[in-house]
Amino acid sequence: MEITGRITKDATVHKISNDKQVVNFSIAINDSYKPKDSSEYKEIVTYIDCSYWLNSKSADYLKKGALVQLFGRIGLNVYTSSDGKALGSLTFHTNNLKILVFAKKVQTPEITPNPKAQQNGKDEPDDLPF
């Protein structure tokens, strides 16, 4: 099975045993449809938890916002909550992944001090109107 979506938060690596590690991340799949007898589209988002066992180094590239194409199989986790409700969640067991669009790097702007202001000891702008 193949799914494509955007990573919702940076991937994490969990050590299971001495030689086994798993990369966990979550993706969001956006879809839309137009209901019968309506002129407006409805947007739906499906969130899927993913696990990747083959290469823990891939977590360095699986950052929030990256668009990924995943190949694997879907699993269903079913459990009972503390109040007795039956609940479930989807997990995608990834066999192969492709990063289609890398996440944008967040850059902090460099603040360069004004050399004239340092000479005067005052913080004055360069271009005075007079």
Instruction: Identify whether the C-beta of residue 24 lies closer than 8 Å to the C-beta of residue 10.
Output: no
pLDDT digit string, tens, across residues 72-104: 999 998 999 999 999 988 899 999 999 999 988
At residue 121 the predicted structure's pLDDT band, cuts being 50, 70 and 90, is low
Fold (topology level) of 2-106: OB fold (Dihydrolipoamide Acetyltransferase, E2P) (2.40.50)
> Domain spans of the chain?
2-106
pLDDT digit string, tens, across residues 24-79: 999 999 999 988 888 899 999 999 999 999 999 999 999 999 999 999 999 998 99
* pTM summary value: 0.71
Buried b (16+ CB within 10 A) or exposed e, 84-108: eeeeeeebbebeebeeeeebeeeee
How many CB atoms sit inside 10 A of residue 60's CB?
A: 11
